[in-house]
Chains A and B, each alone.
Chain A
Amino acid sequence: QITLKESGPTLVKPTQTLTLTCTFSGFSLSTSGVGVGWIRQPPGKALEWLALIYWDDDKRYSPSLKSRLTITKDTSKNQVVLTMTNMDPVDTATYYCAHRRPSTTHFDYWGQGTLVTVSS
Chain B
Amino acid sequence: QSALTQPASVSGSPGQSITISCTGTSSDVGGYNYVSWYQQHPGKAPKLMIYDVTNRPSGVSNRFSGSKSGNTASLTISGLQAEDEADYYCSSYTSSSTLYMIFGGGTKLTVL
- Inter-chain contacts of B105 with A (CB < 8 A): 46
**Quick check: B100 and A52 within 8 Å, CB to CB?**
yes
- A interface footprint on B1-40 (CB within 8 Å = 1, 0 otherwise): 1010000000000000000000000000000101010100
Give per-residue flags for A23-67: 1 if the beta carbon is below 8 A from chain B beta carbons, else 0: 000000000000001010000001111001000000011110010
A-B residue pair count with CB separations less than 8 angstroms: 62
Contact A47 B106 (CB under 8 A): yes
Q: How many residues of B contact A (CB 8 A)?
A: 26
Interface flag for A106 (CB, 8 Å)? yes
**B93 surroundings in chain A (CB, below 8 A):** 105
Task: Encode A98-116 as 1/0 by CB contact (under 8 A) with B.
Answer: 0000001111101111000
B98 & A60 in contact (Cβ 8 Å cutoff) = yes
* Interface presence of B48 (CB below 8 A): yes
Give the residue name and chain of the B residue nearest to A108 (CB). B48
- The answer to whether B57 touches A108 (Cβ under 8 A) is yes
Residue of B nearest to A107 (CB): B48
Contact of A46 among B48, B52, B98, B106 (CB under 8 A): B106
CA distance A66 to B49 in the complex (A): 29
B69 at the interface (CB under 8 A from A): no
**CB-CB nearest in chain A for B100:** A60
- Asked if residues A48 and B45 are in contact (CB atoms below 8 Å), the reply is no
Which chain A residue lies CB-closest to B57?
A108
Q: Are B48 and A106 in contact (CB under 8 A)?
A: yes
Chain B residues within 8 Å of A, Cβ to Cβ: 1, 3, 32, 34, 36, 38, 45-48, 51-52, 57, 89, 91, 93, 96, 98-106
